[in-house]
Structure 1
Amino acid sequence: MRSRLALTSLAVVLGAATGCAGNEQQPIPRVTQPTDLPSQPTAGPDGDDGGSTGGSTGGSGGQRSPRVVRTLVDQLEVPWGVDFLPDGSAVVTERISGRVLGVDADGALTRLGGVAATVPEGEAGLLGVAVSPDFTRDRTLFLYVTTGTDNRVVRARLDGTTLGEPQVVLQGIPRGFIHDGGRIAFGPDGYLYVTTGETGDPELAQDPDSLAGKILRITADGDPAPGNPDPASPVWSLGHRNVQGLAWDDEGRLWASEFGDSEWDELNLVEKGGNYGWPEVEGAGGGRRFIDPQLVWPVEEASPSGLAWADGHLWMAGLRGQRLWRIDVSADGTASAPKAFLTGDYGRLRTVVTAPDGRLWLTTSNRDGRGQPTPADDRIIVLRP
């Protein structure tokens, strides 16, 4: 059981929301050549994301390491969401700037647009992105964004290299200076899954009428997806503190990585209608009321954000832990034998996704909570799993 800690919301108001016009004045980052070497950045705290821990030595346990192929692009501003278009290029969101970028397999960058409603503060801003499963027909991107009043899911049409005006899909998700969730992804069933945080108000995670501290499942129009536990609600699972990673394995099972409080970070196998215990339980020990995590880590070794499935394993990116975890999954859906790679080599690791060619794209998050640059700017690294 966790020790209870009252979190006080921090009232921080920016002078103005980040808009498209301001974003256009910022230069597109340069591309780093493949001869790039690992960096050793130091980052300040960013809520749950934590700061640089240093001195930690994750190991591969004698197994072969994933191989770093290259740094694809650097000098980014907290690249948060990554998803791939049918042509193999990627759409990347920047949390602080509110920009939406196109990145091809060679690292060439295109500014597609921005979300003018973005209010970046603390852990909030322009977060996840998901490409429509019917993109060749509808040319639609879905984005998760923090505004001045809420977190919301919006969609916008991508016309060539120009992002159209966003339209609201789902609004009214509670926003906070911390714990905004923000990962969105289409599942094998064709519906959109949305992770939300409890905004620093733990009791919201157990409130079935609140969209905070949940995993949501919705249609492309923002309606509760058919087959949800409550047909009138978008809630798929509850009792979450701050989920920022979603991935499906080859059997179609949904996995989620979740920030703990002061003791245990979690990897959960997500079940329809499941209650994962926060704030009553942190880590295992929930009894019959709650579903225990499959794996836990001390918070200094993980603070997990992104999660991906590749090469028959789960891959989990650690912020405070500054390492990439590879996790075995058995045929019956049991996670085990986590192994750490890249410990401290690139600093805080935010998002990991599987590219169409089977490689991993890994983003760093080495700017502090105010978005100020640190000795290493944020980048996208390509690895061969």
Structure 2
Amino acid sequence: MRARRIAAVAACTAVVAGLCAPTASAQDDPSALAERTLATRLDIPWDIEFLPDGSGIFTERDTHKIKKITGTTVTELDTVEQAQTTGGEGGLLGLAVSKTFASDNSVFIYYSTASDNRVAKLQLGGTPQPIVTGIPKNRYHNGGGLEWGPDGYLWATTGDAQNTANAQNWSSLGGKVLRFDASGQPAAGNPRAGSVVYSIGHRNAQGITWIGNTAYATEFGNNRTDELNRIEAGKNYGWPTCEGTCNVAGLTNPVVTWPNSQAGPTGVALYKNALYVGAVTGRRVWKIPVNGTTLGTPQAVFTGYGRVRAVAPAPDGTLWLGTSNQDDNGSPGSTDDRIISTDG
């Protein structure tokens, strides 16, 4: 274990609700943050969650392993043999711990197979029991976010699987935010009866979190603009007609945008009155202050870890970050990939 102090940097490269915010001043800079490396030499830790005892649990995209962290000790819990890598962004992705984990030792997983992406319930050591299947897959644009919402339902984020038509097709599960119960049935209040689809028009949505009861999801743009979207039932977020903010009737604009080079937004979490967004392309974390329903100026923090993918508030009050330097676009150091704990 090691400890050091790190500094944050900020720049006017993000746009909040269409307006470029001024550069943060030194007094806004969350410098001198305590940091501990909890685990090293991992293989693309994609999603981090927590067990009832406070231990961390995470997926590895390409090894298809589910692992546990207790203190700084990493143990293997399971390998999902049914998961397949896609040679790009697919594999073992999102993770959500069963609400009844103490009695059923189960988690929910989002993963790629030979034919699709899907969500399954998995009793650790057992065989995945699929609950949502037929999510389009391809080498890239597989989405993969999976979280429990404050409404008690599971929410999943999906990609268009490199077929832009999927995003606008209500009958396709690609390019969507999905909402369903623990058996895979559509959640009450979804915009279309009998459908798990909650919102459409997404290119490659990934992380999802909530401010109160309002969902926010990150999304990879194409060659210009990455997004943070406020997710509402039945809304159309524009892809492929729009990338970033545009003025088209019936389409919903993002609440924050970044140039592609500065973001590649992945995991997102609410922590200490701010949204923290992992940025793989930008090799940083974006901190967005939250004041009620107002989002403040995004600030670039944690710029020394390379590609940051997973972001997760821990039960002990710290924030955990997972790097993604072992993927095809990374430049791994001798200890990558890592999971790091910080006081934010």
1:349 Cα shift?
A: 0.5
Q: CA deviation at 1:358?
A: 2.0
1:365 corresponds, among 324, 330, 343, to: 324
Return 5+ residue gaps in structure 2 as ranges: 7-22
- The code of the aligned residue for 2:76 comes to R
Deviation at 1:350, TM superposition (A): 0.6
User: Which residue of structure 1 aligns with residue 18 of structure 2?
Assistant: none
Question: What code does the residue aligned with 1:210 have?
Answer: S
SS in structure 2 of the partner of residue 136 of structure 1: helix
Task: Please list, as runs of the form range in 1=range in 2, the aligned pairs for 1:179-198 lying within 5 A after superposition.
Answer: 179-198=141-160
1:127, 1:140 → 2: CA distance? 16
Deviating above 3 A after TM superposition, structure 1's stretches of 4 or more consecutive aligned residues are 35-38, 370-376
- The answer on 1:219 being equivalent to 2:184 is no
Which amino acid counterpart does residue 311 of structure 2 have in structure 1? V
Aligned residues: 326
Contact 2:4–2:35 (8 Å) recurs in 1: no
Answering whether residue 134 of structure 2 is matched by residue 172 of structure 1, we say yes
Contact 1:305 1:317 in 2 (8 A): yes
3-state SS of paired residue (1:80)? strand
In proportion to residue count, which structure has more strand? 2
What corresponds to 1:336 in structure 2? 296
Q: In 2, Cα distance between the equivalents of 1:68 and 1:301?
A: 24
Q: Paired residue for 1:157?
A: 123
Amino acid at match of 1:34: R
CA–CA distance in structure 2, aligned partners of residues 187 and 134 of structure 1: 15
Name whichever of 284-293 and 184-193 sits farther off: 284-293
5 Å-filtered alignment, 1:81-160, equals 81-104=47-70, 106-120=71-85, 121-158=87-124
Note if contact 2:5-2:35 (Cα within 8 Å) is conserved in structure 1: no
Residue number in structure 1 paired with 2:309: 350
Secondary structure in 1 matching 2:297 = strand
1:219–1:367 Cα change, 3 Å? same
SS at match of 1:378: coil
The answer on whether the counterparts of 1:294 and 1:334 sit within 8 Å (CA) in structure 2 is no
Q: Which residue of 2 aligns with 1:65?
A: 30
2:299, 2:330 → 1: CA distance? Answer: 31
Match of 1:27 in 2: none
What secondary structure does 1:100 align onto? strand
- Equivalent position of 1:259 in the other structure: 220
**C-alpha distance 371-283 of structure 1, shift in aligned 2 (>3 A):** closer
**C-alpha distance in structure 2 between counterparts of 1:168 and 1:314, whole Å:** 31
Question: What is the alpha-carbon distance in structure 2 between the residues aligned to residue 68 and residue 302 of structure 1?
Answer: 24
Cα distance in 2 between the residues matched to 1:192 and 1:362: 22
Percent identity (aligned) = 42
CA contact under 8 A between 1:140 and 1:157: conserved in structure 2?
Answer: yes
Equivalent residues of 2:218, 2:229 under 8 A apart: yes
Q: Does structure 2 retain, via aligned residues, the 8 Å contact 1:176–1:199?
A: yes
Relative distance call for 1:340 and 1:218 in structure 2 (3 A) is same
Tell me whether 1:283 sits opposite 2:244 in the alignment: yes
Preserved CA contact (<8 Å) 2:4 2:34 = no
Spell out, residue by residue over 1:63-108, the C-alpha distance to the aligned partner (whole angstroms, 9 max, x if none): 242614211101000000111111100111000100110112x121
Q: CA deviation at 1:372?
A: 9.5
Deviations 1:226-251 (A, max 9, x none): 111112100011100111111112x2
200, 211, 219: which one aligns with 1:238:
200
- Aligned mates of 1:324, 1:308 — CA distance in 2: 11
CA distance in 1, matches of 2:332, 2:149: 35
Q: TM-score, normalised by structure 2?
A: 0.90
- 2:40 corresponds in structure 1 to 74
Mapped pair 1:298 → 2:259: yes
Specify the SS of the correspondent of 1:75. coil
**How far apart are 1:274 and its partner, in Å?**
1.0
> Equivalences for 1:38-49 in 2 at 5 Å?
none
Give a deviation string over 1:289-321, Cα, whole Å, max 9, x none. 111110100010101000000101100010010
C-alpha distance 276-329 of structure 1, shift in aligned 2 (>3 A): same
**Aligned partner of 2:241: which letter?**
E
Gaps (5+ residues) in structure 1? 1-32, 39-58
Letter paired with 1:307: V
* Distance of aligned partners of 1:372 and 1:339 in 2 relative to their CA distance in 1, 3 Å threshold: closer
> Offset at 1:376?
4.8
Whole-angstrom CA distance in 1 between matches of 2:89 and 2:99? 28
Q: Distance in 1 between matches of 2:330 and 2:296?
A: 36
After TM superposition, the structure 1 stretch with the greater mean CA deviation from structure 2, 367-376 or 281-290, is 367-376
> CA–CA distance in 2 between the matches of 1:68 and 1:239?
39
Within 1, Cα distance between the matches of 2:24 and 2:82?
Answer: 43
Q: 2:172 aligns with which of 210, 227, 232?
A: 210
Deviates more, 1:134-143 or 1:60-69: 60-69
